Structures are given as structure tokens and as C-alpha cells.
Copies of this chain bind each other. A is one copy, B any other.
Amino acid sequence: MPTEAKRKVYFDNMANTPPDHRVIETMLLQTKEAFGNPLNIHDFGEKTAEVIESSRKNVAELIGATPAEIIFTSCGSESNNFAIRGIAKAYEKKGKHIISSAIEHFSVLQVLKALEKEGFKVTYLPVDKNGVINSQAVAKAITPETILVTLTHASNEIGTIEPIAEIGKIVKDKGIIFHVDAVQTAGTIPLNVAEFQVDALTLSANLFYGPTGIAALYLKKGTRIVPFLVGGTQEEGKRAGTQNIPGISGMGKAAELAKQEMNARSEKLIPLRDRLLKGLTEKIDDFFITGHPTNRLPGHASGVVKYIEGESMSMLLNMEGIAVSTGSACVSKALKASHVVLALGVSPEDAHGSLVFSMGKDASVEDVDYVLAKLPPIVKRLREMSPLYPKKKGAK
């Protein structure tokens, strides 16, 4: 039952960004032209190899890596699975301790859970009320057994930007491998693997206006890894399987555009985000921001509307043409309160009322103001229905 709302406001870019039209054009062209298997000895294969390598170069340049350090994968989850499992297995003779945090994506947490069953020990660092991981806590958690630190650069649910460079320095000083889940940040905010001193980094095209189905793992030269997907010799033997040409060509173009336009996008989005956060706080009582109030992703505004639940809010927003996320994009079918919001110290009932507004590069002031006009009556309506809404306040 799609809504008939006239205005459409897509504020769910942390779940997926619409591919840029220039990206789609590149995909169209290269999917037509580059169909030869790049391992084979003919011009058709050469053409494909050229498309792959020029895209690899663009992706490398986006994060300050060399092309040989970029491995293409099928999604951020695969890069996370591959990096964490592959590095843990490659270094397990050195030790079996891994450090992570309480606000990681499920594709990190589930691998860690599996590794725990296989005998690894994992320390999950807490975060402060703004969602910040303390770099000194990382230092303290390191033991002689620690082989890997894996942390998110920014959680999709709260948008707080973590002090990765600071942590990188600490981890590197100890000679430990450092993996960063940069799905939400690569292509969105400046990020340089050398500066950050990371050994492995997950990035995904669908978060910077590239297509879904294509992502990459940066793996610093010399870092050992056990392959995840085995078979042929593609990706220098690190990731088997015929490469995704539409995806790789789209990711290359998206990376090129992201590098060029990143600053302009942020300069536009930060004021919109702040306008939205301010408006929500002013127009809705018993609303609080989740994540850091200022040091957060450019287009990312998240918070909790107390006494009511996220799915019903999203459904009513959808009736008005507004798309948002509630809790984790990737798992809202799980019906559970977000572990990331809970990690901030938010109570379970409040966590159920969390919303994430994530604006894309084409967002406008009008979009923000439309949301600020439509949300308050929805909140009022659902609070009237809620047995949790304090009687004394009455329906507001």
C-alpha cells in the first residue's frame, strides 16, 4: 500500500544511498563493453581488466591507499567477515585476544561471536553517553595476547565519529593489527589509511552513491589474511569468484565523485543536520539526541522520541512520504531494541523509540522543514495511544 503523499523525502541514506546518475551511466557503459574474463588471454579480458584496475585506483585514492591494497568484495558485511576472520586466523599463533566495541555492526559482532566459540577471547569496549570509544580504554584493554583491534569509524545508528587516528597510534605502537569498519565514513568524510595507521579497512560503495553489491577491503601491504572465499586466483588470490563488473565500475566512478565532491557535500549537509536536530529538540517534548551532538556524520540526525515505538512512527512518516530508519537498518526485522542505542545507557523502552534521519547529498531545507512539520502530529497521535505516556502530561 504505497503512500500517495506528494512530497517524497528519503532520509534513509545511512541504509543505502541512491546511486548518482553519473555512476549509473558508467555502469551501463562498462557492463556493455567489459564482459570478457580478465584472467583470460584476449582483448575482451584486457578490456575488463582495465575497467577493474582503473576502478581499483579510484577506490585506493579515495582512502590514500595503493591499488594493490584494495580487494573488491560483495558488501560491507563480507569485508567485515573476511577481515576479522581472516586476520584472526592468520595471526592466531601470536595470540587469541581481540578488542572491539559495544556499538559494532552485526556483521562484526556475529563474526566475533563465532570466533569466541572457536576459542578466541573478545573484549567489547563500552562507549560514553555520546557514543564515543575512549582511546585510553583501548590502550588498557591490550594484553600480550591481543592480535587484532576492530572498531567502527561511525555507527550507522548514532553517527558519532570515533577517534580512529588516536586509537591507530596506540594500536600501532603495540604492533597489533587494526581493522576499521568505515562503511559509514569512507566516501563521506576525509579518511586516510596512512594517517589513521590502520591495517585493514572496510568500505562500501552503496554508502557514497555507488551501487549495492560491491564493497572493498583495504589491506595494508604485508598484512597477512586467510582468504574467506576460496577458488580461482582473482583479486591476487585473496578473493575468488568472477568479478562484479557493473559493481566495480560503479564503485570506481562513485569513489572518484566522492573525492571531488566530499567537501561540498558536507558543507551543505552539516547545516541541514543541525537544523533538523535543533528543530526536533524544540518541537518535540521528551525527545533527546542519540550520538554526539556535533562530532557526527554530516547528514546524520538521530534521537529518541520517548513513550512511543519506532515502527509505528516510521509507518506514519511513510504515509507522509518520509523514509527514515528505526534502530539498525540491517536488522529491523529482528524487532529488538538497538544494541547501539542501549550501549549509550538509554533504557530499553526508550531505545524502541529511536529514529535515524540520514540525509543524502540532494537533501534540501524544504525537506528538513517538511519533516519538522509532519513529525510532531504523528508523535502526538501515537502518544495518545500509548499507555506509557504520563497521564499528567495529557495528550500534547
Residues of A within 8 A of B (CB): 2-3, 10, 12, 15-19, 21, 24, 27-28, 31-32, 35-37, 39-47, 73-78, 80-81, 105-108, 110-111, 114, 204, 206, 211-214, 229-234, 240-248, 250, 311, 314-315, 317-318, 321-326, 328-334
| Interchain CA distance A114-B229 in the complex, whole Å | 11
| Interchain CA distance A114-B314 in the complex, whole Å | 46
> When the two chains form the complex, which single residue of B31, B47, B212, B311 contacts A243, counting CB atoms closer than 8 Å?
B212
Cβ of B39 and Cβ of A28 under 8 Å apart?
A: no
> When the two chains form the complex, which single residue of B46, B246, B315 contacts A41, counting CB atoms closer than 8 Å?
B315
Number of copies of this chain that the complex holds: 2
Chain B residues, CB < 8 A from A21 = 32
For A3, A232, A330, the residue with the greatest tally of chain B CB atoms inside 10 Å of its CB is A232
Cβ of B27 and Cβ of A40 under 8 Å apart?
A: no
> When the two chains form the complex, which single residue of B19, B206, B229 contacts A78, counting CB atoms closer than 8 Å?
B229
| Interchain CA distance A213-B241 in the complex, whole Å | 8
Cβ of A233 and Cβ of B331 under 8 Å apart?
A: yes
> When the two chains form the complex, which single residue of B45, B78, B246, B333 contacts A246, counting CB atoms closer than 8 Å?
B246
| Interchain CA distance A317-B214 in the complex, whole Å | 33
Cβ of B323 and Cβ of A231 under 8 Å apart?
A: no
12 more CB-based (< 8 A) A-B contacts, given A42-B324, A110-B240: A2-B46, A39-B333, A77-B241, A78-B241, A106-B240, A107-B240, A110-B230, A111-B230, A213-B243, A213-B245, A233-B333, A246-B250
| Interchain CA distance A19-B12 in the complex, whole Å | 31
